[in-house]
Amino acid sequence: MTYIHAFGAHLPSRVVDNAEMASQLNCTAEWIESASGIRERRWAGEETVADLATAAARDCLSRAGVEASQLGMIIVSSGSAERRFPGPASTVAAVLGLNATPVLDLPIASAGAIFALSLASQLTSCYGDILVIAAEKMSTVIQGAPLDQNTAILFGDGAGAALVSARPGRMEVIDSVLHTDGANRDDLTLDWTGPLRMNGLTVILQVSRKLPAVILEVLQRAGIAPAAVKQFVMHQANQNLLMKVAKSLGVEPSLMFSNIAKYGNTSSASMLIAASEWEPTPGPVVFAGFGAGFNWGALVARVV
Amino acid sequence: MRDRLLKVLQKVTSQPLNIGDEDSLFESGLLDSFALPDLVNGLEQEFSIKVPDSDLNPRKFDSIARIEAYLSEHVQ
């Protein structure tokens, strides 16, 4: 058995509202909100991806009541890390004072948190307590090239974290499912020299089908009906997408946890940031994400 | 088939379909990224077909002519 003991998050202090974005783009603040559900996002300034990740890690460890020295592994997801290698995970470990704890970097945008959470839930029997972190500095990405209205309005910076353990805790992981289909690998890409390229039509068309399908797949394996789920905590890509997934699943829109209005799409970090603000109630909860690759997956847990 | 296709398109767009068969539904503003999945779902229901994920390519549904061609290949 594997349990999620706590979540954590870190958001940079600088708030960039839609009015500021609209002033740099050929659009209005109202259009940004209607197209995405986003009212503002955070930009990190001088903080690096590893800085964001470390701050989220500390928040999560504090909430879990666990010392960094107790960790058996750290997994860090980021699609916006500043260098090819080493990735931010080794920096996080060093700043936390660890000098022999294994770390993994997952350069998986958007879906990285669900991949890391699922993998960690399989590894706790070998490695003990695992700290999962997802950290993104998307402001560097969107400012690294002339601002593109279709992508610049969406993204923000931040980091989330989760402490996963074989020790019994409040949230038991029941099952998870991960998938990858490279057929559309060129429809959402970011080279080292930028800019971010997104074929929004293909991405939304694919995610609208694949995300509800993988949620139904993991729920079916667990023998849980969608209507029995207390909350869906998903990658915060776009408010309209969250509502579309709710409609496909036949569940109330209110079951889709959403904080995208405050933070925008923070890529792989968004699901864990959302989880850190969600107040668990007893019963099943589904975590899910979708992103470049395309990679997508879902995990079902039970709050006891 | 064409009338049924136009009925689905009309329902999804909620706008008059004042475009040619070859005109882009996206460039004309009739469809956007969030309406496209609704169109595909509507076609599946109306024609009792299953569009596989490998066919979820916006180009296949970019115009009335392309949708008609797709349906001709897949509707029995």
Could you read off the pLDDT of A258-296 as tens digits, one per residue? Answer: 999 999 999 999 999 999 999 999 999 999 999 999 999
Does A205 sit within 8 Å of B37, measured CB to CB? yes
At A186 the pLDDT is 96
At B2 the pLDDT is 87
At B16 the pLDDT is 83
Please count the helices (runs of H) and the strands (runs of E) in chain A: 11, 13
- Which CATH architecture does the domain made up of A171-303 adopt? 3-Layer(aba) Sandwich (3.40)
Which residue, among A162, A289, A282, has the nearest Cα to A218 in the 3D structure? A289
Chain A residues with beta carbon closer than 8 angstroms to that of B58: 199, 201-202, 205
Residue A148 has pLDDT above 90, yes or no: no
Lowest mean pLDDT: which of A38-52, A224-238, A279-293, B13-27?
B13-27
Mean pLDDT score, A191-212: 93
Q: pTM of the full predicted structure?
A: 0.96
Residue A83 has pLDDT above 90, yes or no: yes
> Which residue among B34, B53, B57 sits closest to A209, beta carbon to beta carbon?
B53
Contacts of B48 by beta carbon, 8 Å cutoff, 6+ apart? none
Quickly list DSSP for B2-70: HHHHHHHHHHHH-S---S-TTS-TTTTTS--TTTHHHHHHHHHHHHT----GGG--GGGGSSHHHHHHH
Which residue, among A284, A275, A278, A279, has the nearest Cα to A303 in the 3D structure? A284
Check CB contact of B52 with chain A, cutoff 8 Å.
Answer: no
Containing B74, the helix (H) or strand (E) segment is: helix B64-74
Chain A residues with beta carbon closer than 8 angstroms to that of B70: none
Pairing mode of beta strands A283-291, A231-234? parallel
Check CB contact of B48 with chain A, cutoff 8 Å.
Answer: no
The yes-or-no answer to whether A2-165 and A171-303 have a common fold is yes
Rounded distance, CA A116 to CA A256, Å?
21
Cβ A74 vs Cβ A100: under 8 Å: no
Mean pLDDT score, A30-42: 95
Q: Which two tokens stand for residue A152?
A: 């610049």
> Which residue among B34, B54, B58 sits closest to A202, beta carbon to beta carbon?
B58
Cβ B66 vs Cβ B55: under 8 Å: no
For chain A, the structural domain boundaries read 2-165, 171-303
Rounded distance, CA A41 to CA A265, Å?
8
CATH number of B2-74: 1.10.1200.10
Check CB contact of B28 with chain A, cutoff 8 Å.
Answer: no
Residue A134 has pLDDT above 90, yes or no: yes
Rounded distance, CA A109 to CA A101, Å?
24
Closest chain A residue to B35, measured at CA? A205
Mutate to test the interface with A, among B28, B31, B51, B53 (most CBs of A within 10 A): B53
Mean pLDDT score, A120-129: 97
Can you list the alpha helix ranges (DSSP code H) found in chain A?
18-24, 29-36, 49-64, 88-95, 112-127, 138-143, 149-152, 200-222, 239-249, 260-263, 270-277
Quickly list DSSP for A128-151: SSEEEEEEEEHHHHHHSSS--HHH
Q: Which two tokens stand for residue A56?
A: 């989220």
Mean pLDDT score, A135-151: 89
Tell me what ipTM this predicted complex has: 0.94
CB atoms within 10 A of CB B59: 11
Rounded distance, CA A81 to CA A299, Å?
25
User: What is the average pLDDT score of chain A?
Assistant: 96
Rounded distance, CA A141 to CA A159, Å?
16
Check CB contact of B53 with chain A, cutoff 8 Å.
Answer: yes
Does A210 sit within 8 Å of B33, measured CB to CB? no
Does B34 sit within 8 Å of A202, measured CB to CB? no
Residue A26 has pLDDT above 90, yes or no: no
CATH number of A2-165: 3.40.47.10
Mutate to test the interface with B, among A205, A206, A209 (most CBs of B within 10 A): A205
For chain B, the structural domain boundaries read 2-74
Local structure of A272: helix, strand or coil? helix
Check CB contact of B36 with chain A, cutoff 8 Å.
Answer: yes
Cβ A154 vs Cβ A31: under 8 Å: no
Mean pLDDT score, A34-51: 96
Mean pLDDT score, A16-28: 94
Rounded distance, CA A218 to CA A223, Å?
9
> Which residue among B37, B53, B57 sits closest to A204, beta carbon to beta carbon?
B37
> Which residue among A183, A204, A240 sits closest to B36, beta carbon to beta carbon?
A204
